[in-house]
Amino acid sequence: MGNAQVSTPFFTEDHNAFRAVLRDFVQKEITPHAHEWDEAGEFPRELYKKAGALELFGDGFSAEYGGHGQRDALMRMVIMEELSRSGSGGVVAGMLSNYIGLPMVEKYGTDAIKAQVLPPCMAGEHIAALAITEPGGGSDVARLTTKAVRDGDHYVVNGSKTFITSGMRADWFTTAVRTGGDGPSGISMLVIPGDVDGLSRTKLDKMGWLASDTATLYFDDARVPVGNLLGEENAGFNYIVNNFNPERIDLATQSVTFARVCYEEALAWARERHTFGKRLADHQVIRHKLVEMDRRINACTAWLELLSWRLNQGDDPVVEISEAKVDATLTFEFCAREAAQILGGASYLRGSVVERLYREVRVQAIGGGSEEIMRDLASRQLGF
């Protein structure tokens, strides 16, 4: 299990075949350009179409709309692992915003809205994003203030969203709005077109994930058809909560794979670098660092494989997924630090994979629910 290429009993021939296709795609289309795209602050939109041709976006979406069909958590793990081996969190985040923006469309959208939104997103021709977080609320979703007021056959939307991944590029926003009173019971979900009148966007400058665009959205009397409502009015809070679990295990898988990339970079350096008359890897303190990195990565990977298998069996391990996300992000943080120590000054230079990933530790630990929120969620589920 020390290398992502090694198959385990959880994965089928189909999983392994798709892994091989994705690995080749990443090695040819993403990894060689990761630093260039980071410096540019974006990656080519054409990459979505290339990924769509591989059916990269199809897990969990109906075959009639271009998806794979039923969700396969192990296949999703393969997708997250292989894209993350590029060592670019920005590319991974931007490429995979469909997987947080579209599940509620698939599950709660009308046939008409699904037919309009899903096929172009599956093909990589359109991009979807999830718009929940607001400047004044952060993770406290129940406090959101963006309002959608019914006016005939439209909702009129006013408010703002922030930290929206793919916010500058997205063609569709799955958006949390307040259609009722205060608290969680007044929240609904709307699919808002990116070209709607009254929507403006501002790009945010970030510490990491530089190749992905992140934006604040402003809605000023944006008129959205009533048919774009997902599910029932004022039932959106539960939809949001149910959408978080898949996002969290995705982020956990990305984090542990980034940790593996840091480990591999450090191992290669330690084998080649000579200090005090011998290889860096021949110093006991360095060998112990590498073993500890490998140990933590393997333990976390095994847990995530088991949780993915359990999801495929119909289980809903909310507590364990919350705990595993914390474990994965702490593993990533540890490995990024240790890799930087092993590479020394080389890790502090722009263009180094370790330098890039070190800057992306914090967003992995905060996005989808911070370590503190994950621990609190787990404690409440356990009845503390």
Where in the sequence numbering do the catalytic residues fall? 247
What does the alpha-carbon distance between residue 58 and residue 373 come to, in Å, rounded to a whole number?
30
What does the alpha-carbon distance between residue 374 and residue 196 come to, in Å, rounded to a whole number?
35
CB 175 within 8 A of CB 131: yes
3-state secondary structure the chain: CCCCCCCCCCCCHHHHHHHHHHHHHHHHHCHHHHHHHHHHCCCCCHHHHHHHHCCCCCCCCCHHHCCCCCCCHHHHHHHHHHHHCCCCHHHHHHHCCHHHHCHHHHHHCCHHHHHHHHHHHHCCCCCEEEECCCCCCCCCHHHCCCEEEEECCEEEEEEEEEEEECCCCCCEEEEEEECCCCCHHHEEEEEEECCCCCEEEEECCCCCCCCCCEEEEEEEEEEEEHHHEECCCCCHHHHHHHHHHHHHHHHHHHHHHHHHHHHHHHHHHHHHCEECCEEHHHCHHHHHHHHHHHHHHHHHHHHHHHHHHHHHCCCCCHHHHHHHHHHHHHHHHHHHHHHHHHHHHHHHCCCCHHHHHHHCHHHHHHCCCCHHHHHHHHHHHCCC
**Residues facing 222 on adjacent strands:** 157
What does the alpha-carbon distance between residue 293 and residue 178 come to, in Å, rounded to a whole number?
45
Side-chain-facing half-sphere of 23: CA atoms under 13 Å: 10
Give the type of residue at 88. S
CB 47 within 8 A of CB 83: no
CB neighbourhood size of 313 (10 A): 7
